[in-house]
Amino acid sequence: MNKTFAYAAMSAKAPLSPYVFERRNPREHDVAIEIKYSGICHSDIHQVREEWGKGAFPMVPGHEIAGVVTKVGAKVTRFKIGDHVGVGCFVDSCRTCEYCHEGLEQYCSVGMNGTYNSTEADGVTVTQGGYSTQIVVDENYVLRIPKNLPLDKAAPLLCAGITTYSPLAHWGAGPDKKVAVIGLGGLGHMAVKIAHAMGAHLTVLSQSMKKAEDAKRLGANEFYATSDKATFKKLKASFDLILNSVSAELDWNQYLGLLKIDGTMVLLGLPDKNVSLSAFSLVMGRRRLAGSLIGGIKETQEMLDFCAKHNIVSDIELISADKINEAFDRVLKSDVRYRFVIDCKTFSAP
């Protein structure tokens, strides 16, 4: 067993505090990873606060993991010691259902095994995430991070990156497409960079004009404030694809009106409450409302290779472990440009 230093929530809504636990010794197909950096995703906060249902405590969050391979099991073929690797939102799945076979493990019909607040394939052992010094994962659920990407700025690609890449790729964002993203936060800023690299014409729809300069720097072609009513008139029927990255409740009908005929709005954020939708918003323009959840292993690797080719990483604020609780508060206030990443060498014995 391997002593692992971490930060954990000891109970629901408790602030995170130093925690020590054991990781398993690598089995035949396992890769042991020294975690160098771990991103902070808004869903970490939802889960430690039990906003999405009952949690398993102590809970070590973190599913934007970047590190270096330190040990491999006897039958591992895809990785060797020293490789730069990542782990995203899940560490296993049933491997036999039609979706797992298609490389869509995130939609596994049995349910994927989450990187934390979930169980291993045995259905018993609780998984613990990336706010820690090491992790042991089956090689089939480990991603290769190309060496030209710095590990700290690459960590957020494992959730924020793939969450935006997958719908952009699936709905064909490219040179002849007009794409909009609602919200310029952790997800939104990745959507801008990736859509720009895909060659799409990209518009950011943000509450105010505050982030307009940033958006242009990140690669956006246009920027509009949604607090200005004229925006909805001006942009009526403009877009082929809209990614909604915010989890706040918005009037979806208003945004669906910004789609061209046959356009699609994809939900990435998860509002707490049900949102009301008028059938007219869809019917009048053969428009579609869709959702998208992270991406499978194959597509996540494709995203990392795409980002390496285009030199895309996240804009981050690097913090030490003792700043995690403060960072959570700032994430809730959208006071980060654009992702907090924890330097995992600052986890130590309590």
Using CB under 5 A as the criterion, which residues of the chain lie in contact with Zn ion when the complex forms? 41, 43, 93-94, 97, 100, 108, 159
With b for 16 or more beta-carbon neighbours within 10 A and e for fewer, the 136-171 pattern comes to bbbbebbbbbeeebebbbbbbbbbbbbbbbbbbbeb
Nearest residue (CB) to Zn ion, 161 versus 257: 161
Asked if 294 contacts 107 with a C-beta cutoff of 8 angstroms, the reply is no
- Taking the complex as a whole, the smallest distance from the CB of residue 346 to Zn ion amounts, in Å, to 21
Residue type, 280: F
Output the smallest distance, CB 317 to Zn ion, in A: 17
Q: Which is nearer to Zn ion, 89 or 259 (CB)?
A: 89
CB-nearer residue toward Zn ion: 212 or 293: 293
Cα 266 vs. chain centroid, distance in angstroms? Answer: 15
- Yes or no: say if 126 and 21 are a contact pair by the CB < 8 Å rule: no
Whose Cβ is closer to Zn ion: residue 56's or residue 94's? 94
CB of 212 to Zn ion, least distance (A): 26
Residue with smaller CB distance to Zn ion, 97 or 121: 97
What are the distances in angstroms from CA 7 to CA 21, 61, 131?
A: 10, 8, 6
- Dihedral over Cα of 129, 4, 298, 197: its sign: positive
266 touches 244 (CB < 8 A): yes
- Least Cβ distance, residue 235 to Zn ion (angstroms): 29
Minimum gap (Å) between residue 330 Cβ and Zn ion: 16
